[in-house]
Amino acid sequence: MARGNTRSFGLGAAAALVYFFLYAPIAVLMIFSFNRSRLSARWLGFTTEWYGALWRNEQIFQSLLNSLIVALAVTLVCVIAGTLAALVSARARLRGRVWLDGLVYLPLVIPEIVIAVAMVVFFSLVHLDLSIWTIIIAHITFCLSYVIIVVGARLGGMDRSLQEAALDLGANEWTAFRRVTLPLAAPGILSAARLVFTTSFDDYLITSFVSGVSSTTLPLEIYSQLKRGITPEINAISSAILLATVPLVFIAQRLERGALKVRGALAGVAAVFLLMALPLVARTWPTERNRPQLNLYMWSTYVSPRVERGFEREFHCKVNYDLYDSNEALLAKLQGGNVDYDLVVPTDYMVEILIQQRLLAPLDKSRLPNAWANLDPRFRDLACDPRNDYAVPYAWGTTGLAYRSDLVKENVTSWDVMFDRRYAGHILLLDDAREVFGMALKKLGYSLNSTNPEEIRRARDLLLEQKPLVKGYNSSNFEQDLVAGDAWIAQAFNGNLTFAMRDEPRIRYVIPKEGCTISVDLISIPRNAPHKDLAHQFINYFHRPEVAGAFVNDSGFNSPNRFVARGVEPWILAQPAIFPDPASLAKCEFMHDLGPAVALYDRYWTEIKAR
């Protein structure tokens, strides 16, 4: 049987390779959770500091708690409702079976993204506020079918004579159900429950569409952390969760094979959960629940623990924040009309849109003395909100050109390098229609606020021509691509580069001679904000020079507070990318809302991306 052995060996080797493929990324993430470097790409030595940082990170624990609540609620509802339905669907003969099966299988057949968008337009239609409840509803919708199918299959394959025998032996129906049907269905129910729990716990796509105020789940938190580039903590929590769940999977599997008594297994599951819950409760308990809450919705790059914790301490409240990565995501959430944030931080042109759409509340200017006293005059009365009736500048920056001076060996002063064939495959653009078109329009010598269809079309043609040179589109963590050498040249928000340039001094930033965008993000209060008082207090607090300084130190973005330099660490002050000389700023242009022309930009943008 030598031949059989070789074949077995071949089979074993192939399987081993597949297992290696399955576990390589997991090994990498575990190893890198001990990496000293913040940017996971390089190994800089062993450390356990990320596990410490994880322990101190309240936001992650809160999101973990949200995820557990959602997954447990979803599992409970799905298992009960699904098992009841499965008792019917398992029966061989049933009128309307085709329709029932169709309805049950449809959620599994339809791509997840379609369910996500259907849910989000529906919730907006019926004015259901986006919250942890909408997440639970959406998850139940796509998980219920799993239970009906899995438990139905188990019951369908069951020998009905067993149940009849029990009845013949004098058991009443309830006893027969409890003692015969249920134990036989139990493995199916368990594996369905496991499937539902994992699916719900790990869902990003649907959750990202239907989440609302402080209902950030772990996958959402992980996504925004990935986008911010603070990854070792995420590696740490993934490793921790993996280690905590291995015994759970183990117990569930033994139970399904009937190797364990249900009672013993439940005790085991309970023990593991308690073990997981203890640190969770310890971390989330001390925050007093009845303190007033302030709900922020802001850029993922603007998180500043010193600002938020300081405000909490001084004003005896709790600051919750959810994060977005594009102005359009913010607009989409506010336009739905079913989410209540107290403060948002849109960019200038988006402020125009939000005002025009009546989505912002007017400010009570008398309550913001710090803002008026400390705001740099350059950023007062901007075109987007001429009398600062609705919004106060929060942070500002430029969108210029970043490059690796060791890889691009020329003196870069112009957008031209973005169109240079020598750098094909190393050019990164922002994943942002207005910014990318802005670059093309500037290179062609037009205004980046052009509404002339001919100019916009020329910009599109230029970008289509450039597309083969482009490596990718990235608005959020392009600086990691620069540090790792994946990109040599990138269109960049200057603030994202602050920490990257510290880690990799060969990254340079220029404001191209053709000009580029200067943008201001303004803090404003949505019309239906529930805590407008506290929101005003936050804006006023934020414009104290020392608080603005703390913001710059944490986020790397510049502040429009004219006394900010007092509170900023010297090495950031010395960065010309963040604190540029006024002359180079003269070439920069603010973006404006373009009204109906936006539709043209959006359409061309889809064309460029789809090519």
Subset of 172-231 contacting other proteins (CB under 8 A): 172-175, 177-178, 182-183, 185-186, 188-193, 197-198, 202, 204-205, 209, 218-219, 222-223, 226, 231
- Residue entry with tokens 């509404």: 451
Check residue 109 for interaction with other proteins (CB under 8 A): yes
CB of 372 to other proteins, least distance (A): 31
Least distance in Å: CB of 226 to other proteins?
5
Closest approach of Cβ 447 to other proteins, in Å?
19
In the bound state with other proteins, the residue whose beta carbon lies nearer, of 29 and 440, is: 29
For other proteins, which is the closer residue by CB, 10 or 369?
Answer: 10
To 10 degrees, the CA torsion angle through 544, 550, 551, 553? Answer: 150
Within 296-378, residue ranges assigned H as helices are 305-315, 327-336, 348-356, 369-374
Neighbours of 249 (CB within 10 A): 12
CB of 451 to other proteins, least distance (A): 12
DSSP string, 324-339: ES-HHHHHHHHHHT--
Among 594, 437, 578, 590, residue whose Cα is nearest residue 520? 590
CB of 220 to other proteins, least distance (A): 9
Give 191-245 as a DSSP string: HHHHHHHHHHHH--HHHHHH--TT---HHHHHHHHHHHT--HHHHHHHHHHHHHH
Judge whether 329 and 130 are in contact, CB under 8 Å.
Answer: no
Cα 238 to Cα 240: distance, rounded to the nearest angstrom:
5
* Minimum CB distance to other proteins, residue 587 (Å): 28
Piece in contact with other proteins (CB under 8 A), picked from 170-178, 362-370, 396-404, 437-445: 170-178
Is position 149 an interface residue for other proteins (rule: CB under 8 A)? yes
H-helix or E-strand spanning residue 302:
none
Q: What angle do CA 504, 507, 509 make, to 5 degrees?
A: 145
Should residue 273 be labelled a site residue for other proteins when binding is judged by CB under 8 A?
yes
Cβ-proximal residues to 214 (8 Å cutoff; 6+ apart), any chain: 62, 293, 295, 320, 322
Pick from 230, 331, 350, 351 the residue near other proteins by CB under 8 A.
331
- CA atoms in the 13 A half-sphere facing the CB of 356: 13
**Helices and strands in the chain: count of H runs, count of E runs:** 26, 9
Residue identified by tokens 């079976």 is 97
Is 46 near other proteins (CB under 8 A)? Answer: no
Which of 37, 47, 55, 241 forms a contact with other proteins (CB under 8 A)?
241
Distance CA(451)–CA(545), nearest Å, equals 39
Q: How far is the CB of 473 from other proteins (least distance, A)?
A: 4
Q: Which stretch binds other proteins (CB under 8 A): 1-9, 311-319, 340-348, 577-585?
A: 1-9
The phi and psi torsions of 128 (rounded to 5 degrees) equal -90, 120
Distance of alpha carbon 8 from alpha carbon 15, whole angstroms: 10
Subset of 69-98 contacting other proteins (CB under 8 A): 72-73, 75-76, 79-85, 87-88, 94
By the 8 A CB rule, do 591 and 439 touch? no
List the structure tokens of 227. 């986008």
> Of 315 and 473, which CB lies nearer to other proteins in the complex structure?
473
Residue 18 interacting with other proteins (CB under 8 A): yes
Give min distance, CB of 468 to other proteins, in A. Answer: 11
Residue 260 beta carbon to other proteins: minimum distance, rounded to whole angstroms = 11
Number of residues that bind other proteins (CB under 8 A): 157
Q: Which residues pair with 393 in a beta bridge?
A: 522
Nearer to other proteins, 16 or 373 (CB): 16
- By CB under 8 A, the residues from 469 to 508 that bind other proteins are 470-474, 484-486
Residues 585 to 604: which contact other proteins by CB under 8 A? 595-596, 598-599, 602-603
Name the residue nearer to other proteins (CB basis): 1 or 583. Answer: 1
328 near 305, Cβ under 8 Å?
A: no
Torsion, Cα of 346, 352, 356, 361 (10° steps)? 50
Site for other proteins contains 169 (CB under 8 A): no
- 574 lines the binding site for other proteins (CB under 8 A): no
**Closer CB to other proteins, 104 or 518, in the complex:** 104
Asked if residue 184 lies in contact with residue 158, where contact means CB atoms within 8 angstroms, the answer is yes
Q: Which stretch binds other proteins (CB under 8 A): 25-33, 54-62, 396-404, 440-448?
A: 25-33
Which string of x and - marks every residue 349-388 that binds other proteins (by CB under 8 A)? ----x--xx-------------------------------
User: Which letter, b or e, does each residue of 396-411 get, where b requires 16 or more Cβ atoms within 10 Å of its Cβ?
Assistant: bbbbbbbbbeeebeee
Least distance between other proteins and beta carbon 511 (Å) = 25
Nearer to other proteins, 255 or 518 (CB): 255
Q: Which of 112, 129, 455, 546 binds other proteins (CB under 8 A)?
A: 112
Footprint of other proteins on 276-305 (CB under 8 A):
276-277
Sign of the C-alpha dihedral, residues 427, 40, 42, 27? negative
Instruction: Report the residue from 152, 232, 393, 512 that binds other proteins according to the rule CB under 8 A.
Output: 152
Beta strand 391-404 with 517-524: parallel, antiparallel or unpaired?
antiparallel
Stretch of 110-118, 341-349, 529-537, 557-565 contacting other proteins, by CB under 8 A: 110-118
Which of 117, 165, 585, 586 is the binder for other proteins (CB under 8 A)? 117
